[in-house]
Amino acid sequence: MGGNGVRYPSAADFAAQLAARGLDGAQFECAAVISKLHVAKGQRASTVMYPLAEAAFLEALHSGIRYLVLDSEKWLVPFYQDLGYRIHGKLEASAGRFRSRLASCEETVVLILDLHDEDNLRKVRSPFLKFLEDRKW
């Protein structure tokens, strides 16, 4: 277990997590998978999700991560796209234990955020762009 309660998977488990999402580990070696971000149903339409997403972005940026990968329920996709995430595909039905959290969802969408893609962040007017522009990290 890493700092702040972060649990790091073995190299084999991480490769399996990426493969379950249709990603090549060689291409996404500087990636982090956000696999368990839960917000209470009554808070999902509030502003609580932005600080959580911002904290994940900053932690990844400070840790040298290039890509953030996450699974989302279909209805949350526009929220993540407004932050700069792009749709990669759907979580494979064969994803096994990596799918358990969203097993009841018909469509689990895999999204990827390239933390260094300033053009995309600018295009979607991502609130994360300020961190790249300020370079205070």
pLDDT mean over 31-56: 76
pTM > 0.85: no
pLDDT of 102 reads: 47
pLDDT of 44 reads: 64
Question: In Å, what is the CA distance from 127 to each residue of 58, 61, 85?
Answer: 12, 14, 12
Residues 65-107 have pLDDT tens digits of 899 998 888 888 898 999 999 999 877 555 554 444 444 455 7
Residues 98-135 have pLDDT tens digits of 444 444 455 788 899 999 999 999 999 999 988 887 76
pLDDT mean over 45-61: 83
The two structure tokens encoding residue 59: 């932690």
Between 40 and 76, residue with greater pLDDT: 76
Q: Which residues form the domain of 127?
A: 3-134
DSSP assignment of 89-112 equals EE--GGGGGGTGGGTT-S-EEEEE
Look at the alpha carbons of 40, 87, 89, 15 in this order and tell me if their dihedral is positive or negative. Answer: negative
**Domains in the chain: how many in total?**
1
pLDDT of 84 reads: 96
CB distance 101 to 71 below 8 Å: yes
pLDDT of 8 reads: 64
CATH number of residue 123's parent domain:
3.40.630.30
